[in-house]
Structure 1
Amino acid sequence: MYTLFYYPRNASLAPHFVLEALKVPYQLEIVDRKKNAQKSAQYLSLNPTGRIPTLVDDEFVLFESGAICLYLAEKHPEGQLIPSDPVQKGVFYQWLMYFTTTIQAELMIYFYPERHTQSALMYDDIIKTQQTRLADMFAIVNRHLSGKSYVVNEQFTICDCYLFMLCIWADELNTPPLQFEHLAKYLRGMAKHPVIKKVCEAEQTDLSPYK
């Protein structure tokens, strides 16, 4: 059985979606960020980065949300969370990399400006700059989603799990994802997906804004 070390609304959300979509046995182990449990010696022995999530598969331990999602999907190809067609697989990797290395990274700067400057006077400027950068990025995603129900090939994939997680994080931006026409339609459709609904209910994540 898989064990996912998680915290609600954290980067563990995408792997949680993947586990549920694959219909494989798994259990959740909460890492209480309010108590800084991700920095405890016990957790650091599993994940030296001190970040969430971590996946344990018997004696194999894996961290980094994107890596966990890919590992699970490739171990269970019957779940079809990665396209099989080479061209569509290329599109899949393109968007997954954009979500993980670009949008997620920029969101981290927005949420934690203190990590990117030694001057507290710069915090507001960093946040304001990130608001603009992230709006531009979601505009790109919005254009891609015109007329689409899923990110890739009309197929529920890891990309959908990841994008929905990022959009939940971004709901406090001045220009949140729901203000983009095609992205909003996509998110409202995804919020009805049984996997998304079940996991969000388990993590007590409110989906009412997407109705």
Structure 2
Amino acid sequence: MLSLYYYPGNASLLPHMMLREIGAEFELRLVDRGQNAQKSAEYLKLNPSGRIPVLIDGDLVLFETAAIALHLADKFPEAGLAPAVGTAERATFYKWMFHLSNTPQAEYRAWFYPHEHVVDEAATLTVKQAAGERLNRMFDVISGQLGDKTWFLGERFSAADLFLFMLIRWGRGMPRPPRSLPNLNALAERVLARPAVQKALEVEGIKAPVF
């Protein structure tokens, strides 16, 4: 059975939503950040970076959110969370999965944990403000690329839409939250309406307003 190490609302939300969409048997294993469990010796054996999530699939121990998402899309192709391998649509899917992972997801680190990016604590506020401005520009680019499409890949729903939904949610406390961009808000609403997503949020105890 698959096991997902998670904490509510963390990056583990993406594979959790995917597993619900897939309908696979899996178990959730809480990593209690309140007790700093992600830095425990036991957890560091699974992910030496001490970050969440980790997916266990038999003998495979996998960390990095995007890698877990791609593995699940490949392992369960019948779920249709990614286009067929070798197609132009699959290449576009890869583009967005890597963009979301390497650009806004990575930038959120400076927004949420600005103290990790300074030597002088007095600079913390400036680091956070600059990260917020960069995130605004990133979401402007994503919004422009999405345009009036229903989903990232046009009329086809994919894991990239779940990924973007999670990142939109993370920005709910920003001065200009991503949902303020009309097409991003509309996409997030469509994702939120999916039963699998609602179930994942319910299980994690995430209540309105979600984003």
- TM-score, normalised with respect to structure 2: 0.95
Aligned to 1:15: 15
**What is the deviation of 1:209?**
5.3
Aligned to 1:125: 126
1:206–1:149: structure 2 CA closer, same or farther, 3 Å change rule?
farther
Distance in 2 between residues matched to 1:28 and 1:134, nearest whole Å:
30
Distance in 2 between residues matched to 1:112 and 1:209, nearest whole Å:
21
Aligned to 2:71: 71
Alignment of 1:1-211 (within 5 A): 1-84=1-84, 86-208=87-209
* DSSP 3-state at the match of 1:5: strand
Q: Which amino acid aligns with 1:75?
A: K
- TM-score, normalised with respect to structure 1: 0.95
* DSSP 3-state at the match of 1:109: helix
**What is the deviation of 1:97?**
1.0
* DSSP 3-state at the match of 2:51: coil
- Unmatched tracts of structure 2, length 5 or more: none
Distance in 2 between residues matched to 1:201 and 1:12, nearest whole Å:
14
Q: C-alpha root-mean-square deviation of aligned residues, in Å?
A: 1.3
**What is the deviation of 1:89?**
1.2
1:94-142 residue CA offsets vs partner (Å, 9 max, x unmatched): 1111100011011111111111110111111111111111111111111
Instruction: Return 83-92 or 48-57, whichever deviates more.
Output: 83-92
Q: Is the 2:2–2:26 Cα contact (8 Å) retained in structure 1?
A: yes
Report the number of matched residues: 210
State the identity %: 38
Greater than 4 Å deviation, 4+ residue runs: none
* DSSP 3-state at the match of 1:51: coil
Q: Which amino acid aligns with 1:34?
A: G
